[in-house]
Structure 1
Amino acid sequence: MKKNWMSLLLATFPMMMASPAIAQSSVTKGGDKPLTIERMYASPALAGTSPRGLKLSPDGKRVTYLAGRKDDQHFYDLWQMDVATGKQSLLLDADKLTIGELSDEEKARRERQRIYGQGIMEYFWADDSQAMLIPASGQLYYFSVKTNQVKLLKTGEGFATDARLSPKGNYVSFVREQNLYVLDLKTEKVTALTTDGGGAIKNAMAEFVAQEEMGRMTGYWWSPDESAIAYTRIDESAVELVTRNEIYADGIKLTEQRYPYAGKNNVTIALGVVSLSDSKVAWVDLGKDTDIYLPRVKWLPDSKQLSYQWQSRDQQSLDLRVVNIDDIKRNKDLVQERSEAWVNLNDDLHFLKKQKSFIWASERDGFNHLYLIGLDGKVIRQLTQGDWAVDAVEYIDEKAGEVYFTGRKTKVTERQLYRVAITGGKVEPISSRSGMHSTVFADNQPVYLDYFSSLSQPPQVSLHSESGKRLAWVEQNEVKKGHPLYDYFGLWQVPEFGELTAEDGQALQYRIFKPTNFDANKKYPVVVRVYGGPHAQLVTNSWSHQDYFTQHLLQQGFIVYQLDNRGSAHRGTKFEYVIYKQLGDAEVNDQKVGVDYLRSLPYVDGDNIAIYGHSYGGYMALMSLFKAPDYFKAAISGAPVSDWSLYDTHYTERYLSHPETNAKGYEASSVLPYVKGYQSGLLMYHGMADDNVLFENSTRVYKALQDEGKLFQMIDYPGSKHSMRGEKVRVHLYRSLADFLDRELK
């Protein structure tokens, strides 16, 4: 599920901010062709050319990216742009590689990475900018940019996963059959650095919760000088072995999986450092407590010291520790983060090369901010502060003494690029356009790619200088004649933004989309689209393919409304921690506040309001309909968690604590006790091969409703995973949802 949620009780009617941030209007350029469900996910992509895998070559001379084909938006080739001339060209046609079936392990990794497609899906630049490593279908290819030749590397029998080039480009490392290997590019010799992997033992691999919940997709890390590799060794023996049914149209696949249910055993993890010269391993002393997490590992620039983040099982303690590999049993604590709820993880640990200090992100003052800390563990200074959150450090220019980062200082609904001096001082805005900015910097200079979008602009990619000045377009993606979106863009609607006030005085952000050809004298049914979970945010000024269905609903005469309840992201810990130890209570109450506001509007049909969400949003839809049937006439629940004892340790215990210490919280957070409150108007759907939110979550609700004699509708998709991928699946799904809403609300 990988994200989060929010809310609190509201006893009084909420106040609305006087002026919206963006006025409701349609986009003026483009035709007035209605957007059909069949067109939403057909090729070419409606949003136009939207590159992924953006990178700047280490020498800064090329921009490279993956682009889908016009006749198949999910099949990717590798493209380039010459920075000096702006000329773009195909760098490598995926047809030159052998694209075959993926292993089960790689399929699972891609699902957890939310990667979908074929062709070239990832690539890695060599440090000299003359070559690339390209993994494809378990094979590894070495591509010479200089000669334009592709070479299949001889890695041996079996499927190679998690492959990458070493820091100086002399080796290729990969995992095969649960062991770590390196290939010397000069001699072409393959060496197994570990040999005991197999069964419950996995070397250099991230365990399930690390991939799904911690954002750690790897289990090994090269030292900068290529002398050693740090890696994890996990033992899954104690984790419950379950047989999971994946139901396909032509049969049932029984999959054995060690799944760490909430309250049950996790893997036992060890951290070792293996020398490339003799394959000897030294083990880090992680302490007597073995029931812990290891969410992050990172080398210091000198290749002599290794840092790791140690997290307690209850996730209320996070320690940054450092060991010297010459005295690997001695640990030194640099940072200790503590919380009475939970400590959020991030990727912002950056060791400086020219001074004995590092940049660290922390929510210790209630918002995520940046700190400069010495290698003695003492805070030198806080670099950013205020009632707003830093998203991530994007680049550190040590020569100029500046840190570039993205954050929400301007508006919580937008992400901008900023800069602050390492010596402290005023935060300087770099980007300026209203919307969402994601950046990719060059390795050794503050030149960056800006991946930008807004509600009225599909993703654009441009090259910028350190001052924010645009140097060139990589993909302007202007919606004009010939663009896939142009014929529909004249009917495109942008929403109004506003705020409501929660019971505790905190601001709840919302946005409301009014129907095409809106008439203030009419009353319209409303679809409340919700996620509501932690680490997520729906109310933003950004482009999203999920809004295609919103636009379709607007053209069918619906209002679409979204509110980020408490517990969701980017508003600080006070806003998030409300949900600790009970889920689905405060969040539902905040959504009720939104409905109270909707019913105050003269153009809203207050008796015809539905709620729709997927994953945590599916959970929210069930809880809202069951607990507040007088607020919602109907609900669509997609792939919902219904009983948190069925979900994994790291996610569930972060918010609900351990089942043994919070049994009442688990019971109150389950959907099942509220089934009796259901009256009518429910549609549920679920992928029958979902390995994230298991299909059992929905079947338990089906059985409970059937036992109560309650009528409802369900649509289950054979072979579909959690993300409901595939054009045919999505067309059928959205046609079904539109038909349901039309019958229930009109």
Structure 2
Amino acid sequence: AAGTANADVRLFVLGLDGSRTEVVWDRARYPYLAHVHWSEAGAPLLLVQARDQRSQVYLAVDPDTGATRMVHADEDQNWLDLFPGVPCWSPSGQLVRIEDEGGARVLAVGERPLTGAQLHVRAVLDVSEDDVLVSASAGEEAAAPEIGEVHVYRVNELGVERVSQEPGVHSAVRAGGVTVLVSVTLDRPGARVRVLREGKTVATVRSHAEDPGLSPRVTLTQGGARRIPCAVLMPTDYPGDTLLPVLLDPYGGPHASRVVAAHNAHLTSQWFADQGFAVVVADGRGTPGRSPAWEKAVHHDFTVTLDDQIEALHDLAKTHPLDLDRVAIRGWSYGGYLSALAVLRRPDVFHAGIAGAPVTDWRLYDTHYTERYLGDPAAHPGVYAHSSLVTDDGLSAPADRHRPLMIVHGLADDNVVVAHALRLSSALLAAGRPHEVLPLSGVTHMTPQEQVAENLLLLQVDFLKRSLGLGRASAR
């Protein structure tokens, strides 16, 4: 839980002869061992972070003695993010990393940034003598927003070349002269896998994945003055002549995007749309893929993520058939927190909510995640109280009006423990607020059991239709 002691982490180099050498660094100052890299290009490389995650150092290790020396150091007034594939050495022995520079998230080799604000670099996929292979989305200075897209690029001192071409979400692995490009797009289910040599397709890996039998009717757009990335889904058979009840279906928090240019990502939202809703998915401030400032706008205040859901909803209602008198919201994990926050703080906008596995008291969630955004709870108790749904005194800043709320939680959840749901239910009961609690026996943070997942969807639709006065027509 936030503010409590972490595990004591140590690192050793083990020799094939059975020897054991401890790697030494200032573990009191930098307790988080964030990344370890060892390749032919250089000494073992560590990335270690301070507890507040506002400073970190890159350390080269002498494997014979365990001694370390600093290669590079970073600081940030809010926090420092971690990225897949870095740090590492280039074949020439230069440090490869992703950093925030000049308001952009860039690739740096040695001390030189190789990309600018046109790209928002997400991960390093491979490093060769000729270039660095990265995945990136459109940055703030990109020629087009490319909503929901992630592409693969080759980057070196001469410039940037896009490897993936069609709109979608792409990733890749590379070895030698062969690149395997994995692509998902809006217009087809599943993934397309191509083998490239010298930039040309030499083979395609056939997919035998089952067709989901559902095609999302989705529009990717932007909403509000902040140009919030949004996906809008309509019922498959919608004729376009009436206003529709609205279901917001966000994640809406750090580390995960829901507005993506990928077919299968929208299947559940489309199923809800086909039950008679206009479904809106919005990736507001705090979600990844746009700029460091966009992600770090949630520093010490998670409630801005709710503000962006409302801004997107109201702006989209100007151009889409959204009935603002019948608005519900559902979500899981951070999205579950956001859904409960919506009905408790803004019942003037939201008329019902489904909170799946919600964090309700941020003091009870993980140290590394929670303290990154909200700080130390002992130093910032007001920050935690403002962003939480419940405190030791009960509900946190609820509005007067009551709205229907369903709380769903797996009893075996080892990520967001069920105590979160129980504390919220207890606080609601103490405040005299009716609500529904659906405990899922044997279910962890997600619901992989097919029968449970199916029935859970049906129960959610029933709750939404009852709560919005839509009748109880059978789900399709």
- Whether TM exceeds 0.5 here: the answer is yes
Q: Is the 8 A contact 2:334 2:358 kept in 1?
A: yes
The Cα shift of 1:732 comes to 1.3
1:351 maps to 89
2:168/2:261 contact within 8 Å kept: yes
Q: 1:436 to 1:288 in 2, by over 3 A?
A: closer
Residues 587-598 of structure 1: pairs in structure 2 closer than 5 A:
587-598=305-316
Are 1:317 and 1:339, in contact at CA under 8 Å, matched by a contact in 2?
yes
Tell me the equivalent position of 2:100.
Answer: 363
In structure 2, the residue matched to 1:651 is 369
How big is each residue's C-alpha offset from its partner over 1:426-448, in whole Å with a ceiling of 9 and x where there is no partner?
A: 2111111111112122x3x2312
Counterpart selection for 2:251 from 528, 531, 544: 531
CA distance in 2, matches of 1:262, 1:541: 35
Whether contact under 8 Å (1:640, 1:698) holds in the other structure is yes
Secondary structure at the residue paired with 1:390? strand
Alignment of 1:558-707 (within 5 A): 558-583=277-302, 585-601=303-319, 603-672=321-390, 673-675=396-398, 677=400, 679-707=402-430
Contact 1:640 1:693 survives alignment (8 Å): yes
Q: CA deviation at 1:536?
A: 1.3
What is aligned with 2:393?
Answer: none
Aligned to 1:328: 66
Q: Which amino acid aligns with 2:409?
A: H
**Alpha-carbon distance between aligned partners in 1 of 2:79 and 2:147, rounded to the nearest angstrom:** 22
Query: Given the superposition, is the C-alpha separation of residues 434 and 291 from structure 1 closer, same or farther in structure 2, using an over 3 Å criterion?
Result: closer
In the other structure, the counterpart of 2:116 is 385
The match for 2:7 is 267
Following superposition, the deviation at residue 415 of structure 1 comes to 1.2
Q: Distance in 2 between matches of 1:511 and 1:288?
A: 44
What displacement does 1:619 show?
A: 0.3
Matches within 5 A, 1:186-265: 261-265=1-5
Q: Secondary structure at the residue paired with 2:397?
A: helix
Deviation at 1:407, TM superposition (A): 1.2
1:356 Cα deviation after fit: 2.9
CA RMSD of aligned residues (A): 2.0
1:292-342 deviations in Å (ceiling 9; x for gaps): 100111224267x2211110000001110112223433x321111111110
Does residue 429 of structure 1 match 2:170? no
Task: For 1:137-216, list aligned pairs within 5 A.
Answer: none
Indicate conservation of the 8 Å contact 1:337/1:364, yes or no.
Answer: no
**How far apart are residue 742 of structure 1 and its match?**
2.0
Residue 474 (structure 2) aligns with: none
Matched, 1:298 2:5: no
8 Å CA contact retained: 1:430, 1:467 = no
Moved over 6 A (4+): none
Paired residue secondary structure (1:624): helix
Partner Cα distance (1:326, 1:639) in 2: 47
- 1:550 is matched with which residue: 230, 254, 269? 269
- Return the alpha-carbon distance in structure 1 between the equivalents of residues 336 and 447 of structure 2: 13
8 Å CA contact retained: 1:675, 1:704:
no
The residue aligned with 2:20 is: 281
Q: How far is 1:678 from its partner?
A: 5.2
% identical equivalent positions: 29
Task: Report the AA paired with residue 581 of structure 1.
Answer: H
User: What is the TM-score when the length of structure 1 is the normalising length?
Assistant: 0.59
Structure 2 distance, partners of 1:262, 1:669, is: 14
Instruction: Report the alpha carbon displacement of residue 595 of structure 1 after superposing the two structures with TM.
Output: 2.3
How far residue 631 of structure 1 moved from its aligned partner, in angstroms, is 0.5
CA distance in 1 between counterparts of 2:320 and 2:120 reads 36
Secondary structure, in 3 states, of the residue corresponding to 2:363?
helix
2:134 corresponds in structure 1 to 405
1:491-506 mapped onto 2 (5 Å cutoff) = 492-502=215-225, 506=226
Distance 2:155 2:403 in 1: 55
Aligned equivalents of 1:427 and 1:615: distance in 2? 37
3-state SS of paired residue (2:437): strand
Partner-residue secondary structure (3-state), 1:650 = helix
Distance 2:13 2:352 in 1: 56
What 5-or-longer segments of structure 1 have no aligned partner? 1-260, 374-378
Which protein has greater RCO, CA pairs closer than 8 Å, 6+ apart? 1
Alpha-carbon distance in 2 for matches of 1:286, 1:628? 48
CA contact (8 A) 1:321 1:335 kept: yes
Q: Which moved further from structure 2: 659-668 or 512-521?
A: 512-521
Cα deviation for residue 520 of structure 1 reads 2.9
Residue of structure 2 equivalent to 1:451: 182
Please report how far the alpha carbon of residue 689 of structure 1 lies from its aligned counterpart in structure 2 after TM superposition.
0.7
Task: Provide the secondary structure at the position in 1 that maps to 2:132.
Answer: strand
- How far residue 640 of structure 1 moved from its aligned partner, in angstroms, is 0.1
- The alpha-carbon deviation at position 572 of structure 1 amounts to 1.4
Counterpart pick for 2:193 among 454, 459, 462: 462
Gaps of 5+ in 2: 139-143, 391-395, 471-476
Preserved contact between residue 216 and residue 267 of structure 2 (Cα < 8 Å): no
Query: What residue number does 1:76 align with?
Result: none
Alignment counterpart, residue 436 of structure 2, candidates 713, 721, 726: 713
Q: Secondary structure of the equivalent of 2:32?
A: strand
- Aligned amino acid, residue 360 of structure 1: R
After superposition, the Cα gap between the structure-2 partners of 1:387 and 1:302, relative to the gap in structure 1 and judged at 3 Å, is: closer
Displacement after TM superposition at 1:582 (Å): 1.9
Structure 2: which amino acid aligns with 1:741? L
Equivalent of 1:517 in 224, 233, 237: 237
Aligned mates of 2:228, 2:323 — CA distance in 1 = 22
User: CA–CA distance in 1 between the matches of 2:451 and 2:163?
Assistant: 42
TM-superposition CA deviations, 1:444-498 (whole Å, max 9, x none): x2312222212221123333324443222212569xxxx644xx45xx3332222
Aligned partners of 1:678 and 1:469: how far apart in 2? Answer: 61
Specify the SS of the correspondent of 2:402: coil
Structure 1 pair 743/469, CA: closer, same or farther in 2 (3 Å)?
A: farther
Please state how far the C-alpha of 1:601 moved relative to its aligned partner: 4.2
1:580-607, Cα deviation, whole Å (9 max, x unpaired): 1122x21111111122124434622110
Q: CA deviation at 1:697?
A: 0.1
